[in-house]
Amino acid sequence: MGFQAYLRIKAAAAVLGVSVNTLRNWERSGKLLAYRHPVNGHRLYKREDLDALLASVERHRLVPDSDSDAVHADE
């Protein structure tokens, strides 16, 4: 896997629609793995990791909320 499969933090944030600070927080909390460039130490994110995260979010969004379909007694 070459460096083409990796994105810098700004590009990764744009793909996910979040800020670079959010990516840094997710890295610290273990939600997303950041790799380091061997020469300059900058954060790099695997495109496949970002795609997997987006797919996971989409799957969770498609699962209906149990409260949204519930019939309430006061209705």
Q: Note the pLDDT tens digit of each residue in 44-56.
A: 999 999 999 999 8
This prediction's pTM: 0.73
Pair of tokens at residue 10: 């700004």
**What confidence tens digit (pLDDT) does each residue in 23-47 have?**
999 999 999 999 999 999 999 999 9
The SS3 of residue 66 is: coil
Instruction: Report percent pLDDT > 90 for the chain.
Output: 64
Pick the CATH number of 3-62 from 1.10.1660.10, 3.40.50.300, 3.30.565.10, 3.20.20.70: 1.10.1660.10
Pair of tokens at residue 27: 């890295």
Residues 6+ apart with CB under 8 A from 36: 42, 43, 44
- Judged against a pLDDT cut of 70, whether residue 73 lies above it is answered with no
